[in-house]
Structure 1
Amino acid sequence: MFSYYGVKLLSFLICLLPHNTAMALGAGLARMAWNFVPTKRKLLAKEQIIRCLGTSEAEAESIARASSLRFGPMLMEVLRFPVMRTRMEDYVSITGALDEVRAAVAAGRGAIFATSHSGNWELMGGAFACAGLPIVGVAKKQSAAGMDRFINEYRALVGMHITYHTGVREMFRMIDAGWIIGLISDQDPALRDGVIIDFFGQRTNAFTGAAAIARRCDVPIFPVFIHREADGHHVLTVEKGLMVEKTDDRAADIRRMTQTINTRIEEWVRRYPEEWFWLHDRWKSLRNDNEKGVL
């Protein structure tokens, strides 16, 4: 459990610093950490950027580096949750269809937030919770028990309820009770758990959770995204709600909505490419099956 108490101590110390000093420290640590990112991973990110955005090699390298360096300030913001939570509006502004979300919650319907690994998604969940929305964050269990305990404790500190991605029954119960389920929808799942859609003009295996749950529970999906401005302030955008069309072909309904969600994600990534997690091997499952001659 040393990792838990070690990070708690680090959080305590970071909370003593002025906010801008903590952000500068995070940026400096990220610049040093970039030197230790494996060359193979850097090359993967650069190749994905060129393939998706059609950039030059120099521009792709710059985007890949910026995408990685943002994790320094992101970490500092999570460590500073104890001091940020009392005045979250100083750090994050929420724009867009927030009234539509509140209306869905007031009606007891619940909803889905579909987002991506763009910007500080941990801060996004905290901002929504601090704004009074009943948010359920769906998390992947960390391999280190101490770190898993820490991050879930801090998510709860800002008002989120956390369930693991395996807790599907709990998600259904909570959405039926009027909660909003937050789902990061840009991962590369196992082929048996995904559906093939178009993403940046490429065949891509996509996570179907948002569409499948929304269809079953008959609730809206709100694409949500967060962007860090040049001064460090964040703008959280809530797009208008989407309803899954229900026909006799459940699989086709889910595929159409999954495509729509990923189109929204692609549009956002094209707008702010430096803020997406390009180091993630987004096309791994399809590439592996192509190498095996399955697809």
Structure 2
Amino acid sequence: MGYYLMKFFSWVACRFSMEKCNSFGKVLGKLTWIVVPKKRKFMAYDNIIRCLGVDAGEAERIAKASWVQFGPMLMEVLRYPELIKDDYIKKYVTIDGLEYLQEAIDNKQGAVIATSHSDSWELMGAALAQYGVPLVGVAKKQKDSAMDRFINEYRTLVGMHITYTNGVREMFKMIKEGWMIGLITDQDPLWSDGVVLDFFNRKTNCFVGPASIARTQKAPIFHGQIVHRPDGGHHITIYPPIFVDQTKDKKEDIKKATQQIANLLENHIRTHPEDWFWLHDRWKSVREKGLD
């Protein structure tokens, strides 16, 4: 039932313009902000103050804006059937650095694209696929099977190949075939899946997946981010490739590349603080270890 309800919502959203849907999405985001648990909000405020050095009022503004953007992102996903018509998505989402990906594509070289929960990250994957990037979206299986079916159907609709986070063998196979593996790298990983690095001058458990895959496959890592444009659209920036060292010290090679990714993400967040999802408990694992 849930799947068909989402399809109905998508049909309705496709009857309206992107501007009207975005306006409704912002209202939806503001309304749902009211029910976000206070404990979660205060955790976000504290992290924003510690990371950015702002006052309490500015921290609250940034946290709220970070949450509200979920509404427009939902509307964009619901409108995928319209966004892919007549190359509209290429007007709605522009890209700098596409030439870095294109060079790898031309050389039939697989790669890793490392990004974050910033701005409309779902739309970023859709846009890259529509621009011709052979993209594998690595998804976490949703607990709600209806939502899982819907979101992965729509991700496939826009041109992405979807695999779940446990599909490592499939990722290795596809990267060898020239596909680019899209990984969202900014959440707090399991202790066994991370390495403690410097992030906002804090000890932070950072996900090593991109560097580990890239080193094993001798593939480049492209860091990419999406931001809002003043006209209501979005802009993606793809950074020059990061190549993981191939020394005898595998752990150090992975750690070095992962720190490079963390540095790029930190710079991005400092420039666009409202776009990053601060409501995630990013430092939970190091706090539990007594390191934060």
TM-score, scaled to structure 2:
0.98
Q: Distance in 2 between matches of 1:64 and 1:99?
A: 34
Q: Distance in 2 between matches of 1:11 and 1:100?
A: 34
SS of the equivalent of 2:183 reads strand
**Counterpart residue type for residue 12 of structure 1:** W
1:194-220 Cα shifts (integer Å, max 9, x gaps): 111110000000100000000011111
Alpha-carbon distance, 1:47 to partner = 0.4
Partner of 1:95: 96
SS of the equivalent of 2:84 reads helix
Partner of 1:74: 73
**Counterpart residue type for residue 54 of structure 1:** G
Partner of 1:21: 20
Partner of 2:148: 148
1:40-79 correspondence to structure 2 within 5 Å: 40-79=39-78
Alpha-carbon distance, 1:108 to partner = 1.4
Partner of 1:162: 162
Alpha-carbon distance, 1:257 to partner = 0.5
Alpha-carbon distance, 1:186 to partner = 0.6
1:82-135 Cα shifts (integer Å, max 9, x gaps): 000122112100112x11211111211111101111111110000000001100
1:18-62 Cα shifts (integer Å, max 9, x gaps): 111111111111111111111111101100000100000010011
Q: Distance in 2 between matches of 1:215 and 1:229?
A: 34
1:101-116 correspondence to structure 2 within 5 Å: 101-116=101-116
1:214-260 Cα shifts (integer Å, max 9, x gaps): 00111111100000122211010011111001100000000000011
Unaligned runs of at least 5 residues, structure 2: none
Matched, 1:243 2:243: yes
Q: Distance in 1 between matches of 2:284 and 2:183?
A: 20
Q: Distance in 2 between matches of 1:79 and 1:105?
A: 29
TM-score, scaled to structure 1:
0.97
Q: Distance in 2 between matches of 1:49 and 1:257?
A: 25
Q: Distance in 1 between matches of 2:100 and 2:201?
A: 31
**Counterpart residue type for residue 240 of structure 1:** P
SS of the equivalent of 2:195 reads strand
Unaligned runs of at least 5 residues, structure 1: none
Q: How many residues align?
A: 290
Alpha-carbon distance, 1:289 to partner = 2.2
1:115-194 correspondence to structure 2 within 5 Å: 115-194=115-194
Give percent identity, aligned residues only.
51
Q: Distance in 2 between matches of 1:207 and 1:24?
A: 35
